[in-house]
Amino acid sequence: MIKAVLFDMDGVLVDTEWFYNRRRCAYLETKGYTFDEIPDLSGTNDVYIWEYFEPNDAERRAELKREYFATYMKEHPVPYDELKNPDARPVMEELKRRGVLCAIASSGQREMIEELVSAADLRDVLDATVSGHEVSAFKPDPAVYLRTMELLGVEPRECLVVEDSPLGIEAGLRSGARVLALKPREGVTLDQSQAHRVIDTLWDVIDEIDS
């Protein structure tokens, strides 16, 4: 019996990956970096991303990251109203009606999670939110999912994880939960072959529980 659904954020509840890719490169161009094309870092984590752009100079990498989060992101906020998944709230409402707990387990910063929760009006339908920055390791380590399950008081076998990226899918599998992969938007390619099931929309979560 499924008692909880744990949602990844980026790529599942909000279509932000393309925006993040472009915003990071626009920022780095102000710092002298040049790009023939914008690298697609969808589904990776914060540590990997900044090492990708500045692999050799740890001090420079830390300063770039600090300024990006402290200043540039605030000056160029995510247009959540445009990018949020319109199915998120109605699906969570239906889950709550059925007595199923709902949570967000994201590698994103706590601030970013809170922004999405407010913009998508999800606060009253969520039972927990956990950031990967609040646990011991990022995905594909299952720590963020295990911590969320602990907060909800549920066992892995009682949970569905909804992901999109290979790293997130691996984290969900390693947590012991059943993993659904939401198909990415057109033009984005992600290896979702390891998920138990690939779904077209968030409404398929309800069908999974009913099946």
- Enumerate helices (H) and strands (E) in the chain, giving the number of each: 10, 6
Structure-token pair, residue 111 = 């601030």
Residue 8 annotated as catalytic: yes
Exposed / middle / buried, residue 164 (Cβ in 10 Å: 0-12, 13-18, 19+): buried
Select which of 8, 10, 127, 204 is catalytic. Answer: 8
User: In whole angstroms, how large is the CA radius of gyration of the chain?
Assistant: 17
Structure-token pair, residue 88 = 């998120």
Which of these, 200, 201, 203, 208, lies nearest to 177 by C-alpha position?
Answer: 208
Q: Three-state SS for 154? A: coil
| Cis omega (within 30 of 0) for bond into 156 | no
Catalytic residues: 8
